[in-house]
Amino acid sequence: MKRTKVTVDFEAYPKEIGDLLKGALVYDSSCSPAARVLFVDRDRGYFVKEASCGALLKEAELASFFASKGLSSKVLFYSTETEKDYLVTERVPGEDAAFAAYLEKPEKLCEVLADSMRMLHDTDIRNCPVPDRMKDYFATVDERYHKGMFDPSIYGDRVFFKNADEAWQTVQAYKHLFQSNTLIHGDFCLPNIMLDNFALSGFIDLGNGGVGDRHVDLFWCAWSLWYNLKTDKYTDRLFDAYGREKINKDILRAVYAAEAFG
């Protein structure tokens, strides 16, 4: 996780956050233009996330739910104002799964990721604040298909679908097989999985989570292994470790199609 030391005006933040920033070393840890993320180096560490008004509400609710299950860090503060949302969480111990020491042992990493995913997917979904993630998932696919927002570059030089129409038709052919019956992360990429000496310590960046279909997480984990290791040779090992009997090839192919729409 990249961090750049920055100077911030703590008086520009809500008092609860300003008091946290005052006198602390602060680093920019942002990885998306949609939100600014600050790491506050004091005590055991804190993350301050800021985004447009209302943008962090779902993530705050999901982070609290994940924390209640022992799957993420505690939410310390959330507020929404006229122009911005603010979310403060405790640091999850360890380093993310894209850390060099973990990538150097890809076979072991696959086992840990599969175990972590199975544990997440076995979690009790009652009272999850996002009870049907797939409804929004397919609504987004529909919207972007009709706007012509098809981006196969997500797969690098690998070709899975000839064009947007083929990908769209694949989604339509198999979307009835999807189920919203599993707690998913929704963006199960290596930078969002925190490990402490190859043991799961928690999940971060939970805004795409909720009750959904396990194949979304399986796709993103396999994609992220390919992206970070520059090879897809470990996909089979990941799926074997997770459990082939739980994987439907048609649903997984439909996820590959859906994700090309962003």
What is the three-state SS of 59-74?
HHHHHHHHHHCCCCCC
pLDDT digits (tens, 9 = 90+) for 168-223: 999 999 999 999 999 999 999 999 999 999 999 999 999 999 999 999 999 999 99
Domains along the chain?
Answer: 4-90 (3.30.200.20), 95-259 (3.90.1200.10)
Q: What backbone torsions phi and psi does residue 150 show, to the nearest 5 degrees?
A: -110, 125
Q: Which two three-digit tokens encode residue 230?
A: 């520059």
pLDDT at 33 over 90: no
Q: Which residue type, as a one-letter code, is found at position 185?
A: H
Per the annotation, the verdict on 187 as an active-site residue is yes
pLDDT digits (tens, 9 = 90+) for 114-137: 999 999 999 999 999 999 999 999
- What percentage of the chain carries pLDDT values higher than 70? 100
Q: Which residues, other chains included, contact 21 with Cβ-Cβ below 8 Å and sequence gap of 6+?
A: 8, 10, 13, 38, 40, 48
3-state secondary structure of 21: helix
Q: Which of 85, 96, 187, 213 is catalytic?
A: 187
Average pLDDT value for residue range 49-78: 95
For the whole model, what pTM was predicted?
0.93
Beta bridge partners of 116: none
